[in-house]
Amino acid sequence: MHLTLYPYLRVQRRGTEHLDVDGPVIVAPVHRSNLDAPLVSVAGRMPMRFLAKQSLFDNRAFGGFLAAVGAFPVRRGGVDREALRVAAEILAAGEKLLVFPEGWRGSGPKVQGVFAGVSWLAFKTGAVVVPVGVAGTEAAMPPGARFPRRVRAAVVVGPPIAPPAAPATAGRASRVERSRYSEMLTARLQAVFDEAQALIADP
């Protein structure tokens, strides 16, 4: 990947040292293209697992490849409890897991918010969350494209965010606390996304 896609897209990187922390770790990039997961998964020195939509596993050969590189399937269009269960097991084992916190492939320069599953996983497993801004991939490979165009891309990794703390009385994070955590993650994700977009905008 470093020898092909990274030079092809002239990828600039900042903050990748934040990926090299002990697990459990949720790596949380913005999502604008099918290129995002491959670019982020090799940005650090340690391997990571990641979610991939169920339809990508319909082709047995490609599905086998995805499974071999650490992906597991998730259904779209609602809460996939089985995917959350598997994700929690991966994190509980101390591994790194790539999860797109927006919940789907978005478009444009703004993060529209993150789904509650990330804060739930962070609390459930004690995982830190590492926000990642990825810019240029939407132009490189928009929906429907079969091959990437050669444009500039950037990956900016922010400092890890501690998981939401459980209140001593309740023993679990409330919905309000998880919502606040999601709002904080949205802001931190927007900050690294803005920085990544600034990198590819500079001449």
Q: Burial letters for 108-136: b for 16+ Cβ neighbours within 10 Å, e otherwise? A: eeebeebebbbbbbbbbbebbbbbbbbbb
Q: Does domain 5-201 match CATH 3.30.70.330?
A: no
Backbone φ and ψ for 13, nearest 5 degrees, come out as: -130, 140
Torsion of CA 105, 106, 108, 113, to 10 degrees: -130
Residues in the chain predicted with pLDDT less than 50, given as ranges, are 168-170
Supply the pLDDT for residue 168.
47
Rounded CA-CA distance 77/69 in Å is 25
Enter the tokens of residue 179. Answer: 């919502």
Q: Where do the domains of the chain lie?
A: 5-201
| Residue found under tokens 């896609």 | 5
Supply the pLDDT for residue 169.
45
Supply the pLDDT for residue 196.
98
Supply the pLDDT for residue 131.
98
Supply the pLDDT for residue 172.
62
Supply the pLDDT for residue 38.
83
Torsion of CA 181, 184, 185, 186, to 10 degrees: 120
Dump pLDDT digits (tens) for 40-78: 988 887 788 887 777 778 878 767 766 766 777 777 655
